[in-house]
Structure 1
Amino acid sequence: MFDGLFNIDYFVLMAALLLIAGVVTAKFSTRLGVPALVLFMLVGMLAGSDGIGFIYFDNANYAQLIGIVALVIILFEGGLQTKWTTVKPVTIPALSLATFGVLITSSVVAAAAKYILDVTWLEAFLFGAIVGSTDAAAVFAGLKGVNLRERLGATLEAESGTNDPMAVFLTISFIQLIMTDQPNYFLLVGSFFWQMGLGLIIGLGLGKFATWAINRINLDSSGLYPVFAMAFALLTYSVTALIGASGLLAVYVAALVLGNAELTYRHSIFRFNEGFAWMMQILMFVILGLLVFPAQLFQLDIVVKGFILSFTLILIARPIAVFLSTIGMKFAIKEKLFLSWAGLRGAVPIVLATFPMISGLENSQLFFNVVFFVVLTSALAQGSTISFLAEKLSLTGMKKETPIHSLELVSIGKANAEVIEVEINEDNPLIGQSLAEITFPKDVLVNAIIRNGNLITPYGESRICSGDILYILVSKQSKNELKQMLNESKISNPTFQKAAE
């Protein structure tokens, strides 16, 4: 009995220490000039059996399970934060990079792996497929705080959010080809369209259904809305994956639908998922760090082969894929160079490297060690220089300003009302009018005005100025009427947040 309690308490203690270490390393990663994901992996390696020996972990099945759940949550958060108006103009180049780009990258790396790792052609293409995609967690984290031109940033984020399914498809397909005596290559084509097409359809459908359900349900606690949204993310992945389609693609598409809809408790859902995604990112990279044994990783043979393959991937395969996949898409040479360098590898290749291990393939341990080394090299070399390269190539845009105001609603019991946050553009016809002059619908009250970061208490003679942010309390019965009025007044992007329950 006491042994069981001790083991549980020890596990909880280790989880707490690892999370604290992860948060602290994330805090100092920017100052050190090292991507946070590298430090997370180093924490795992340090805590493992080849480090100080706190934890012995070598279960690829558990690592894969944790990795996939974490990827679902990270992709969901990334999709929620992605604005469709920003992504829409770059849909074609992003999808081209996510499909043809991954295929070209995998092929070039496979040609190198065939001779460097001394494996069969099918095994070489399996290795190329594993490292063929950029990583959403690494790219999302790497681009935060970088004032990159909107088109470039949107292309990278959309590519990283949609190319994981292609890498997963190729990895599983090559494993099946290796393990099958008489492989059928034609079935792979049909399987590709089934997985991607159905993943897209299910993602759209469940995204719209989740939006409807979240807005219609009346929960007793506002804290349940983010949990409800996260449940739909897990549901979307599992339902899609169980019928043989791309669950990761479905999750990203569903999140894109949710993030661009008028959503009840929108800010609460976003903030919850941002924090949860960080926690899962820490957990995932620490676990992957635990799974690798530094004594095996840093052998001369692995280091030499890893460096050569990293060089091939970063400086040959990725640039070829970018330049070929974006032909005729109006990207300047320096933009293509940046897209080539910003193709970060992260958790996805390491998680995919567990697939051959679980399948019992002959060279699976070799693949895992080399893939881990390639990811480590990519994160260190590319992840730490993204901001520097963007500035040197003059690809930075206007400085992104973070609003200094916030709105937190406190539970005060049942309230049949919602709060709307409205930003007034410089060309808005309401500018210059006083609140008394504006004909609002019934049961509407302007609660607060944020002007230049300062709180203005509204009254009848208060006049609307350009750049004002209004917080308007409205009853559910009058919400649609107010919404119509705001649209007619050309007020930009009113966001709806449900009032306190």
Structure 2
Amino acid sequence: MINGALNTDYFILLVALLLIAGVLTAKFSTRLGVPALVLFMLVGMLAGSDGIGFIYFDNAKYAQLIGILALVVILFEGGLQTKWSTVKRVAIPSLSLATLGVVITTSIVATAAKFILVVTWMEAFLFGAIVGSTDAAAVFAVLKGVNLRERLSSILEAESGTNDPMAVFLTISFIQLLMTDQPNYLLLVGAFFWQMGMGLLIGLGLGMVASYAVNRINLDSSGLYPVFAMAFALLTYSITALIGASGLLAVYVAALVIGNRDLTYRHSIFRFNEGFAWMMQILMFVILGLLVFPSQLFDLDIIIKGFILSFILILIARPIAVFLSTIKMNFDFKEKLFLSWAGLRGAVPIVLATFPMISGLVHSQLFFNVVFFVVLTSALIQGSTIAFFAEKLELTGTKKETPLHSLELVSIGKANAEIIEVEINEDDVVVNQSLAEIEFPKDVLNNAIIRNGDLITPYGETTIQAGDTLYILVSKQSKKELKRMLDEKDLSEHVSANQ
């Protein structure tokens, strides 16, 4: 009993220390000019048996489980933050990069891997599939600190959110072909359309169900709404995966639907998922760092082969894939060059590299070590220079200003009411009108106005100005009427439900 309690306490202590180390690492990663994911992995490597020997971990199955769970959370958070109006404009190039681009990258890297790693063609294509996709966790994390043009950032985010399913499909397919004496290629074609098609349909369906459920249910605490939304993310993945379709694609699509709907307690859901995604990202990269043994990783043979394959992936395969996948899509040379350089590799290739290990394939340990080295190289070289290249290629956008105010609310779930946020632009009808002149529905109370970062107490004679942010308390019964009134005044695009 005592030993069991000590083991439990020891495990909790380890988790606490790893999270603290991860948070401090993220804090200093920007100052060091190194992506946080690299430092997370280094923390895991340092804590492992080849480091200070604090933790011994070599279970690929548990690492895969944690990795997939983390990817579900990260993709869900990324989808929630993505605006459909922006994604719609870049859907074609994003999907082209996520499908054709992955196939081209896989083929080029596989050709190189055949001769560099001295493996069979099927094994070479398996390696190419593992490193063929960009990584959502890496791209989402790095782009948050880059002042990039909206079109380019949207393409990279949408590509990384939708190309994981393609990489997973190719990886599993090549493993099946390697383990089957008489492979049926026609079944693989059918499996592709099944996985992508059903992933898309289930994601759309459960996304709408989740949005409806979140808005209709009246919970006693606002803290339950984010948990409820996350439960739908896990449900979406599990249902889709259990029928043999792409769970990751379904989660991202469902998050897009949920994030672009008028949502109750929107800010609470978003903030919870942002924090949860950070926690899962820290745990995932630390665990993946623990899984690798530096004494094997930094072997001279692995270093040479890893560098050559990284060079081919970064400077040959990715650029060719980008230039071919975006033909006649109205991209100039600088934009294509930047998209080529911003194809970050991260957790997904490392997680996929555990699949051959679990399947017991001959060269699985070699693949894992080389893939880990390729990811480390990509994150260090590409991840730390994305902002530099964006600036040098003159692809930076307008500076994104962080709001100087925040509004924290006590749960009002029992009151059957919520607060919505209305942002006022220069062309809105209510500009230069007083609150007394605007005919609001009943059960509506203007709580606060934020103007130039300052809090203004609203009165009847308070005049609305362009740039103001109104926080309006409204009963759920009157919410539709309020939105209808705002729609009539051409304010619909500036209204979003918030907690």
TM-score bucket (shorter structure) = over 0.9
How far is the alpha carbon of 1:147 from its aligned partner?
1.0
Q: TM-score, normalised by structure 2?
A: 0.99
The farther-off stretch of 405-414 and 465-474 is 405-414
> CA separation in 2, counterparts of 1:367 and 1:418?
52
How far is the alpha carbon of 1:416 from its aligned partner?
2.2
> CA separation in 2, counterparts of 1:78 and 1:200?
17
Q: TM-score, normalised by structure 1?
A: 0.99
> CA separation in 2, counterparts of 1:36 and 1:45?
14
Aligned to 1:494: 495
User: 1:90 and 2:60 equivalent?
Assistant: no
The farther-off stretch of 485-494 and 209-218 is 485-494
Q: Write the letter of the residue equivalent to 2:130.
A: I
Distance 1:72 1:459, change over 3 A: same
8 Å contact kept, 2:448–2:458: yes
> CA separation in 1, counterparts of 2:446 and 2:33?
45
Aligned to 1:338: 338
How far is the alpha carbon of 1:495 from its aligned partner?
1.3
How far is the alpha carbon of 1:29 from its aligned partner?
0.3
> CA separation in 1, counterparts of 2:55 and 2:42?
14
Aligned to 1:370: 370
How far is the alpha carbon of 1:413 from its aligned partner?
7.0
C-alpha distance after superposition, 1:151-171 (max 9, x if no partner): 100000000000000000000
Q: Write the letter of the residue equivalent to 1:118.
A: V
> CA separation in 1, counterparts of 2:334 and 2:477?
53
> CA separation in 1, counterparts of 2:370 and 2:67?
18
> CA separation in 2, counterparts of 1:411 and 1:480?
21
Aligned to 1:224: 224
The sequence identity of aligned pairs, in percent, is 83
RMSD value, Cα: 0.8
8 Å contact kept, 2:222–2:413: no
> CA separation in 2, counterparts of 1:478 and 1:293?
60
How far is the alpha carbon of 1:349 from its aligned partner?
0.2
Q: Secondary structure at the match of 1:119?
A: coil
Distance 1:82 1:412, change over 3 A: closer
- Structure 2: tracts of 5 or more residues without a match: none
The farther-off stretch of 97-106 and 481-490 is 481-490
> CA separation in 2, counterparts of 1:72 and 1:237?
7
> CA separation in 2, counterparts of 1:288 and 1:173?
23
Taking the TM superposition and a 5 Å limit, the aligned residue runs for 1:11-90 are 11-90=11-90
Q: Write the letter of the residue equivalent to 2:170.
A: L
Aligned to 1:205: 205
Q: Write the letter of the residue equivalent to 2:432.
A: G
Q: Write the letter of the residue equivalent to 2:97.
A: L
Aligned to 2:437: 437
Q: Write the letter of the residue equivalent to 1:348.
A: V
> CA separation in 2, counterparts of 1:318 and 1:71?
23
Aligned to 1:258: 258
The farther-off stretch of 4-13 and 70-79 is 4-13
8 Å contact kept, 2:424–2:494: no
Taking the TM superposition and a 5 Å limit, the aligned residue runs for 1:304-315 are 304-315=304-315
> CA separation in 2, counterparts of 1:170 and 1:425?
47
Aligned to 2:275: 275
Taking the TM superposition and a 5 Å limit, the aligned residue runs for 1:104-183 are 104-183=104-183
> CA separation in 2, counterparts of 1:430 and 1:7?
63
Aligned to 2:288: 288
Aligned to 2:396: 396
Aligned to 2:6: 6
Q: Secondary structure at the match of 2:428?
A: coil
Q: Write the letter of the residue equivalent to 1:181.
A: D
C-alpha distance after superposition, 1:299-329 (max 9, x if no partner): 0000000000000100000000000000000
C-alpha distance after superposition, 1:91-111 (max 9, x if no partner): 000000000000000000000
How far is the alpha carbon of 1:411 from its aligned partner?
3.2
> CA separation in 1, counterparts of 2:445 and 2:9?
52
Q: Write the letter of the residue equivalent to 1:497.
A: N
Aligned to 2:194: 194
C-alpha distance after superposition, 1:340-384 (max 9, x if no partner): 000000000000000000000000000000000000000000000
User: 1:184 and 2:184 equivalent?
Assistant: yes
> CA separation in 1, counterparts of 2:61 and 2:497?
42
Distance 1:338 1:84, change over 3 A: same
> CA separation in 1, counterparts of 2:443 and 2:31?
50
> CA separation in 1, counterparts of 2:391 and 2:242?
45
Q: Secondary structure at the match of 1:24?
A: helix
Aligned length: 498
Q: Write the letter of the residue equivalent to 2:331.
A: F
Taking the TM superposition and a 5 Å limit, the aligned residue runs for 1:347-386 are 347-386=347-386
8 Å contact kept, 2:66–2:284: yes
Q: Secondary structure at the match of 1:402?
A: coil
User: 1:103 and 2:138 equivalent?
Assistant: no
How far is the alpha carbon of 1:407 from its aligned partner?
1.7
> CA separation in 2, counterparts of 1:313 and 1:68?
24
Aligned to 1:246: 246
C-alpha distance after superposition, 1:256-301 (max 9, x if no partner): 0000000000000000000000000000000000000000000000
The farther-off stretch of 270-279 and 472-481 is 472-481
Q: Secondary structure at the match of 1:448?
A: strand
> CA separation in 2, counterparts of 1:65 and 1:331?
39
Q: Secondary structure at the match of 2:90?
A: helix
> CA separation in 2, counterparts of 1:488 and 1:311?
56
How far is the alpha carbon of 1:478 from its aligned partner?
1.4
Q: Secondary structure at the match of 1:414?
A: helix
How far is the alpha carbon of 1:412 from its aligned partner?
5.8
8 Å contact kept, 2:221–2:412: no
Q: Write the letter of the residue equivalent to 1:87.
A: V
Q: Secondary structure at the match of 1:471?
A: strand
